[in-house]
Amino acid sequence: MRVAVIGANGQLGTDLIRVLKGANRFEPIPLTRPYFDVRNASQVLEVLIDLKPDVVINTAAFTRVDDCEDQPALAFEVNTLGTRNVAIACAELKCVLVHLSTDYVFDGKKREPYTEEDLPNPINVYGVSKLAGEHFVRSISQKYYIIRTSGLYGVAGSSGKGGNFVETMIRLAKEGKPIRVVNDQVLSPTYTLDLAYKVVELMPTEAYGLYHITNSGQCSWYEFAGKIFKLLGLEPNFGPIVTKEFGARARRPAYSVLSNEKLINIGLGFLRSWPEALKAYLEEKGRIRR
């Protein structure tokens, strides 16, 4: 099975290529800019026609949430119209599309995990642009998986963000700077390697549709940071703040935990807990012993 991975040099893309290579039944095809730019409709179609993949996994996105507020045209160009370009090409080739989306399609007013049946109501440009992309996938693709996830971090780091939350916290702690992290935004941080394994497990099932996939459990960003420091034995000048004090340009949902029950319903298991996944990530990075 030939699997094209768009955004193969990103955090999730890197782990997807790694997992696909480790499975005998898949032939991974990495796609990265400028050779493959989702904004270029003719390029997308031409490249995919030439490659003839059985599955296309789209991880490409403009993910800098605050910058999306300042550059909404770019956010929609990548996250919405770029997704449309990929969906059209996949429909033309009659191949399966796996599209990655976000917990930020929700407004955060709920206080229990969001299911796939809950009505989205994004409160920032990033969330709106990603939800619009989802709608294009639903309306164009015959065979698709839309996968919403949350708080990604991976060994490769995010090329769009210059690292990830875990590495940022470690760097600030080692620099001796005061660290203040929001304690009123609750999510399920997700290790991209765990997500990659589950995506590859889901892909051949033909149980097409929308799925929420995250590591199990929930925490605030402050609690997440605290666990990082505890595992590494770091004791920085560290304290909680509320979102209003942080002063970010984009609004964030106060609660964006995603229910993974639909995975159980099709016979696939939960991902391990976020603390277990974080420990595994730090081991993989060589920051703590296995």
* Active site residues per annotation: 126
Provide the 10 A C-beta neighbour count for residue 204.
Answer: 13
Which two three-digit tokens encode residue 19? 């997992």
**How many Cα atoms occupy the beta-carbon half-sphere of 77 within 13 Å?**
8
- Segment holding 31, helix H or strand E: strand 27-31
Q: From CA 114, how far away is CA 67, in angstroms rounded?
A: 26
First CA to last CA distance, the chain? 34
7 exposure class (CB count in 10 Å sphere: 0-12, 13-18, 19+): buried
Alpha carbon 270 to its chain centroid, in Å, reads 17
Closest by CA position to 224, among listed 165, 179, 160: 165
